[in-house]
Chain A
Amino acid sequence: MPAEQSVKIAVRGLTKIFGDEPEKALELLAQGADKKTIHERTRQTVGVADVSFDVYEGEILVIMGLSGSGKSSLIRCLNRLNEPTRGEILIDGEDIVGLDHHQLLETRRRKFGMVFQHFALFPHRTIRENVEYGLEIQGVAPEVRAEKALTALRQVGLEGWEDSHPDQLSGGMQQRVGLARALAVDPDVLLMDEAFSALDPLIRRDMQQELVELQNRLKKTIVFITHDLDEALYLGNRIVLMKDARIEQVGSGEEILSDPATAYVERFVAEVDKTKVLTAGAVMHRLRSVGYLSDGPRTVLRKMDEQNLNALFVVSGDFKLQGMVRDEAAIAAVQRGERSIEAILEPTVDPVSPDTPVRDLFAPLAESPMPTPVVDDEGKLKGQVVRASLLQGLAENTNSDSVEEAA
C-alpha cells in the first residue's frame, strides 16, 4: 500500500439509533452505557455507536464483526439506506448526512454501487435488465446502457447469459450479476454487504479471488462487510473490527492478528485463529529456484530473471542455507566483471524452522520485505514464507476445514 493515500470516505462520530426516541438513547450513550443497558432502559436499539474511521481511495476496507455487531447498520448509513442519527459521513469531503432527498438520489446514483448478501436481483427482469437497472434509473439511453451492461457482464465472466432470468442461474452466478449490476454504473465506491456469505465455500473462495483480481484492474474503493475472519484477512487492505455497535480495532490483518487491541479482539481472533496451530511448514511456498555457491553472478541473475524474482536464496552443495543475493548486487557484480557471488552474498532474515507457529512469523515479515527462509534441523533450506503466502495459507487452511465440515 502506498503511503500517500487520499481519504475517500471519512466517518466521524457516526451513531445510529433504531427506535422513535433516539434522544434518550443518545443521552445514555454519552454516559457510556452499553447497547444492552440502553435497550433495557429505553427500548431503543443502538445500531452504531460513535464510530469514526477513514476509507482510503482504492483500498478494500473490511468491516468485520459477528451478527448484531452493527456492521450491516453501519454500511447502510454510508449511502443512507439507514438515516444516521448523529455524526458526519464525508465522501470526497462532502457531508452526505446534510443532503436533501434530491441530492441524496444523485449521490447514490453517481458514487455508489451496492452488492447484497442474498443477491437482491429483480426476479422479473432478465440478467441484462438487472445489470442495466442503475443506468435505467439515471435515464441513460437504451443503446448506451445495453453496451455498458455487456461490458460489466464481461468483467464478471457472464457474457452470453444476458437474456436468462436470475432463477436460472446458480448462486455464484447470481452474485456475479449482483456485482455486474453494481459495476455497470461505474461507481467510485462499492458497498458489499456480506456479499459472499450465502455462497458455498468453494464458490466463495473463487469469488474472493476474482474480486481481488477485478480490484487490481479497476481500483475501486470497496467497503466489504463480513463475519468471517479468513475472508477479512484475504480481502482486506485494512480491517475494522466491530462489537456491540462500537469499533474495537482498526488495522491491517497482521496488526489485528499479532497485536489485538482489546481482550475481545484477542478472543475473536483466537477462536478462528489458526496462527497458533498452523506452522511455517504448512504455509511456506516451495522455492522455484535457488542459487548455488558455485554459481556466478550471471547465472543467479538468469535464475532470478526466469522466475521473475528480485532476490535468490543461496545454498551450498548439500542444500544448507548460506545467504542471499539481490538482483542489483548481481548486476553490479556482472558489470565489475566478477566471476563469483561470494562478494555479494548477504545474510538473510533469521531463518525459522518448519515447526515455528505462524504467529511468530508476523514480526520478521513486518520488518523486512524479504521472504523468511524455512530451514530444517540440519540447516537445509525447505522453503520460504512471504506475506502473501502467510495470509493465503491461513485463509486456505480454514477454508478447507469448513469445506470438510460442510461435506
Chain B
Amino acid sequence: MIEIPRLPLSDWIDAGLDALTDQFATATKVVSDIMETGIEGAVDGLMWLPPWLSILLFAALSWRLAGVKTAIGTLVGFLLLWNLGLWEPTLQTLVLVIIATLIAVLIGAPLGILAALSQTAYRIIFPVLDFMQTMPAFVYLIPAIPFFGLGPVAAVFSTVIFAMPPAIRLTTLGIRQVPTDLVEAADAFGSTRWQKLRKVQLPLAIPTIMAGINQTIMLALSMVVIAAMIGAQGLGGEVWRAIQRNEAGMGFEAGIAVVILAMVLDRLTQGITRDVRQASS
C-alpha cells in the first residue's frame, strides 16, 4: 500500500495563529487590559446599586420599551435570581452579552451593508459566514486564549465571532429586500449612493436589521455561557462549577437563570424593534 502522508493542516493553523499572536501581541494585550478594566468597572458599577433598586430600574426600562407584561416578567424573574443568590453572576453575564453584541453589531452592520451593495463583497463575506456558523462554537475558545489570555476578554472575543453572522446576514437581507421600484425611485430623482442608502434603504431595512440584532443577542448569551470554560465569570461559571462538582441542582438553578435572562432580553429587543418600526413607518 502506498502511504499517503497526513496533511499537516493543524500544523499550518498553529503556525498561522502563532504568527498572528506574535504580530499583534502588544495590541491584543492593550485591548485586553482596557476591556478587562471596562468589564469589571461596569459590573462593579451595577453591583454598587442595591439589587432591589437595579431590579426596579430594569423593570421600569422593560415597561418603557416593551410594555407592562414584560415589566412584570422582568420583576418576578430578576427577584427570583436575586433570591437564588445569582444576582452578581447574572449581571456579569449581562455585561458580557451587551459588550459582545455592541462589538458584533458595530462590525457586522457595515459588513452587511457592504455585502448588500457589492456583489463582490457578498461573494467573499457570505461563504465565510457559512464557515463561521457551522464551525463548532467550542473551537473559537481555543485561539482566544493565546490572543487575550484566560478571562472575560477572551470570552467576549469568541462570543463576537460566534454571534456576529446574523447581524451581517440580516442587514444584507434587509437592504436587498427593499422593493426595486423604491430603489428606482430614489435613483430616478438623482440620489447619490449614500443618499439612497441613508434615506431609503436603511430606514426600510431597520426592522430586519433589528431581528438580526435580536438573534445576535441570543447567540451571544449562549456563547457567553460556554465561554465560562475559558474563564468568563457569570452564570456560565456557575454551570461549569456545578458540572465539576456534580451538583445537578445548582447547575439547573444557573440554567434557569440563563433562560430568564434570555427571555427578558428577547422581549426587550422585540419591544425596541416594534418602536423602531412604528417610528419608521
Partner-B contacts on A (CB < 8 A): 76, 79, 81, 105-109, 112-114, 116-118, 120, 122-124, 133-134, 136-138, 165, 167, 185, 191
> Is B200 interfacial (CB 8 A cutoff)?
yes
- Say yes or no: is B181 at the interface (Cβ < 8 Å to chain A): yes
Task: Provide the residues of chain B in CB contact with A134, threshold 8 Å.
Answer: 189-190
Which residues of chain A come closer than 8 Å to B10, judged between CB atoms? Answer: none
Q: Which residue of the partner chain, among A76, A109, A118, A167, contacts B189 with CB atoms under 8 Å?
A: A109
Given contacts A122-B182, A123-B204, A136-B199, contact A112 B188 (CB under 8 A): yes
A124 and B189 contact, Cβ closer than 8 Å, known pairs A81-B184, A136-B199, A137-B195:
no
Interface presence of B187 (CB below 8 A): yes
CB distance from B199 to the nearest CB of A (A): 7
Task: Digitize B175-207: 1 where CB-to-A-CB distance is under 8 Å, 0 elsewhere.
Answer: 000010110111111111001000110011000
Query: A108-B187, A116-B185, A134-B190 are known contacts; what are 11 more A-B pairs with Cβ within 8 Å?
Result: A76-B184, A81-B188, A105-B192, A108-B188, A112-B188, A117-B181, A118-B181, A122-B199, A133-B189, A137-B192, A185-B189
Question: In the assembled complex, which residues on chain B have CB atoms less than 8 Å from the CB atom of A113?
Answer: 189
How far apart are B252's CB and chain A's nearest CB, in angstroms? Answer: 46
Q: Which of B184, B190, B192 contacts A120 (CB 8 A)?
A: B184
From B179, B182, B190, contact of A105 by CB (8 A): B190
Cα distance, A116 to B184, chains bound together (Å): 9
- Would you call B280 and A124 a contact (CB within 8 A)? yes
Distance (Å) between the CB of A130 and the closest chain B CB?
Answer: 9
Least distance between B273 CB and chain A CB atoms (Å): 15
Q: Taking the complex as formed, is B244 at the interface, i.e. its CB lies under 8 A from any CB of chain A?
A: no
- Is B281 interfacial (CB-CB < 8 Å)? yes
Contact of B190 among A76, A109, A123 (CB under 8 A): A109
**Residues of chain A contacted by B203 (CB below 8 angstroms):** 124
- CB within 8 Å of A: which of B22-41? none
- Interface SS, A side: mixed
Q: Using known A-B contacts A105-B192, A133-B189, determine if residue A120 contacts B204 with beta carbons closer than 8 Å.
A: no
Q: Which residues of B contact A123 (CB under 8 A)?
A: 204, 281
**Interfacial chain A residues near B195, Cβ < 8 Å:** 137
- With contact pairs A137-B195, A165-B281 given, residues A120 and B189 touching in the complex (Cβ less than 8 Å): no
Q: Is the CB of A137 within 8 A of B184?
A: no
Interface CB pairs A-B, < 8 A, 23 = A81-B184, A81-B188, A106-B190, A107-B190, A108-B187, A108-B189, A109-B189, A118-B181, A120-B182, A120-B184, A122-B182, A122-B185, A122-B199, A123-B281, A124-B203, A124-B204, A133-B199, A134-B190, A137-B190, A137-B191, A137-B192, A165-B281, A167-B281
Nearest-neighbor residue (CB-CB) of B196 within chain A = A137
Tell me the smallest distance from the CB of B48 to a CB of chain A, in Å.
41
Q: How would you classify the secondary structure of chain B's contact residues: helix, strand, loop or mixed?
A: helix
Centre residue among B191, B195, B203 by max chain A CB count within 10 A:
B191
Is the Cβ of A122 less than 8 Å from the Cβ of B190? no
How long is the Cα–Cα vector from A117 to B188 in the complex, in angstroms?
A: 14
C-alpha spacing A160/B188, complex, angstroms: 27
Partner of B185, one of A107, A109, A120, A136: A120
Contact B184 A124 (CB under 8 A): no
How far, in angstroms, from A124 to B174 measured CA to CA in the complex?
A: 14
User: Given the complex of chains A and B, what is the CA–CA distance between A335 and B186 in angstroms?
Assistant: 64
6 nearest CB pairs, A to B = A109-B190, A108-B190, A114-B188, A120-B181, A120-B185, A134-B189
Residue of A79, A109, A118, A137 contacting most chain B CB atoms (<10 Å) = A137
Q: Which residue of A lies closest to B279 (CB)?
A: A124
Instruction: With CB as the reference atom, state the residue of chain B lying closest to A187.
Output: B189
Contacts of A107 in B (CB 8 A): 190
Give A280 to B188 CA distance when docked, in angstroms.
Answer: 44
Give B179's nearest chain A residue, CB to CB: A120
Which residues of B sit under 8 angstroms from A79, Cβ to Cβ?
Answer: 188
Contacts of B280 in A (CB 8 A): 124
The residues of B that contact A118 with a CB separation of less than 8 Å are: 181
Residues on A with beta carbons closer than 8 Å to the beta carbon of B181: 116-118, 120
* Distance to closest chain A CB from B79 (angstroms): 40
The residue in chain A whose Cβ has the minimal distance to the Cβ of B187 is: A81
B190 A114 Cβ-Cβ under 8 A: no
Q: Which residues of B contact A167 (CB under 8 A)?
A: 281
**Distance of A124 Cα from B192 Cα, bound (Å):** 19
How close is B50's CB to chain A, nearest CB, in angstroms? 43
In the complex, what's the smallest C-beta–C-beta distance from B178 to chain A, in angstroms? Answer: 10
Cα–Cα, bound, A106→B204 (Å): 25
Bound complex: CA A105 to CA B194 (Å): 13
Chain A residue nearest to B200 (CB atoms) is A122
CA distance A79 to B191 in the complex (A): 13
Q: In the complex, which residue of chain B has the Cβ closest to the Cβ of A191?
A: B188
Q: Which residue of B lies closest to A139 (CB)?
A: B195
In Å, the complex CA distance between A356 and B181 comes to 46
Q: What residues on B are CB-neighbors of A81 within 8 Å?
A: 184, 187-188
Q: Knowing A116-B181, A136-B199, say if A124 contacts B281 (CB, 8 Å).
A: yes
Residue on B with the closest CB to A111?
B190
Cα A134 to Cα B196 with chains together (Å): 11
Question: How far is A199 from B162 in the complex, measured between Cα atoms in Å?
Answer: 49
Chain B residues closer than 8 Å to A109, beta-carbon distance = 189-190
A114 vs B191: C-alpha distance in the bound complex, in angstroms? 13
Q: Which residues of chain B are near A116, meaning CB under 8 Å?
A: 181, 184-185
CA distance A116 to B187 in the complex (A): 12
